[in-house]
Structure 1
């Protein structure tokens, strides 16, 4: 399948990306499909530049140019980035700028075990799978049963089900299950109340410690999350917002005046008003408007278990010393 490994040619059953005039379309390469009446018909994908018979894609090389009745396009192998731009939205998704920072902040490498709460449309999940495979694994949870079912079907269709386990579960109420206690290198939460899932994240992260990240659209959510992270012994707590800004590259022509007459002190000629030549430069211009708010990423580190125990013991001793000091001061 096209999502599992890089390949040269399109096979039946692949998911391909049609690049057409700066637009992307995801196409399942099936020769036949069922219409609304349940009848089996030939799979024909309608585009703004004409109809595409999907059976003609089988056997062609990825990157090939295909001719349509009113134009042409290219067939590309899908990546998590392109899938994020073409997938059917079941929820609001996380896009590439945030995804790249999440992968970086979670310190994920091939072989890691990562837990995701809030599968949604599976945009981030595909990127997590690519990062941790082939030895690693992704455990993703969603409280909505239908969304979880559709996500499992997509992972199987994309032939990446070996690297991901998608479950229907309310992790706020039930946690990540006892089987995952102490097994995760990192935990990501995309929930309305991420602070309620932090205690479950502590149980799931390995004894040697790990990384945590949550995605929240509101700063009030971030504030409550940070307070609970501190209470549970997390360190290096940091919140950031990723705003992508593209620079538009253009060519500008600037008039250049010939001022060679200034070399002659005795020259009485006035400065010419007309330019004597033009010079072109390639410049990058800032966008007129900047993108608005997307969401806040809150990241933190959970130290090893022995360090957590020492910190908790020291905090308890400090609390006891404070209580004793208050009693002594009261006796005086």
Structure 2
């Protein structure tokens, strides 16, 4: 099992996602001889998981059942242990697109946080790319390194525990893209420029406040970046449903001999889409820029 390579069967040491139903899931590391309690009963790792195909329906000790899924960055995002606030798939998809990430790309990231975006980047740049990620907090840095090893993507990533605003990313002239998710991104712009390759590259800064965006844009322009743009991604889901409505009664139509008016109690069933009354709105602003060719 790897977050960047698909495996057919579950092996000892794999991380799996247990789907409990009704959008309830949990991550689980498979260990020979171990068992995990769920509301449907116990899952015995040796007999219920090891050797089974990913996606299998597993019956628990109380008779209930769960599905055991192969881990993906999207599933990990909604199941990971939160050490910080994280980015979700809507923003992640936009970042991946706008930074033009692809297999073989070299990416610099700060801060690593809970590793939500990191896993998506690694899946995108595998098998020959590399991620240089910087985390200021020592314990978070150690935790995310352990997760990368457990998820078998450690060979694709270098984790540094340092202050990116003072010490940079630890690399120069190699990055195709840089991502910043820190309180004062303008202080790291010069280091981002140093890390990006001389042939040009892309930068993205995530900030929850517009004042942070303004200061970042000023720093980007001063550092020689061009094509600045800031976007806000809002996901609005419409509910499709059937609605029964009464047909209108236009009264007598003597002038139209071939017109057949509908009965007074006639109805029609229509399909309609209704937006939610409440929705999750602002997460943050994504500011993109391009390094001018030197």
Where do 5+ consecutive residues of structure 1 fail to align?
A: 33-42, 306-332
Aligned residue in 2 for 1:23 = 24
Of 74, 79, 100 in structure 2, the residue corresponding to residue 81 of structure 1 is 74
What is the DSSP-based 3-state SS (H/G/I as helix, E as strand, rest coil) of the residue aligned with 1:12?
A: coil
Matches within 5 A, 1:28-47: 28-32=29-33, 43-47=34-38
TM-score by length of 1: 0.82
The residue aligned with 1:312 is none
Change (3 A) 1:149 1:272: same
**What RMSD over aligned residues (CA atoms) do the two structures have, in Å?**
2.3
| 1:273 CA displacement | 2.6
Higher gyration radius (CA): 1
2:186–2:219 CA contact under 8 A, matched in 1 = yes
Residue 300 of structure 1 corresponds to 289
4+ residue stretches of structure 1 with deviation over 6 A? none
How far did 1:271 drift?
7.0
Counterpart pick for 2:99 among 106, 127, 131? 106
State the distance in 2 between where 1:161 and 1:47 align. Answer: 30
Q: How many residues align?
A: 290
CA distance in 1 between counterparts of 2:249 and 2:8 reads 57
Q: Distance in 1 between matches of 2:139 and 2:172?
A: 26
Q: Which residue of structure 2 lines up, in the alignment, with residue 289 of structure 1? A: 278
Query: Aligned runs of 1:243-282 on 2, under 5 Å?
Result: 243-256=234-247, 262=253, 265=256, 272-275=263-266, 278-282=267-271
Residues 230 and 59 of structure 1: CA distance in aligned 2, closer, same or farther (over 3 Å)? same
Structure with the largest fraction of helix: 1
Aligned runs of 1:127-166 on 2, under 5 Å? 127-166=120-159
Write the distance in 2 (CA, Å) between the matches of 1:131 and 1:263: 69
In structure 2, runs of 5+ residues without a counterpart are: none
Match of 1:8 in 2: 8
Question: What displacement does 1:252 show?
Answer: 2.6
Q: CA–CA distance in 2 between the matches of 1:136 and 1:188?
A: 15
C-alpha distance in structure 1 between counterparts of 2:117 and 2:236, whole Å: 21
> What is the TM-score of this pair, normalised by structure 2?
0.92
Q: Is the aligned partner of 1:59 residue 2:51?
A: yes
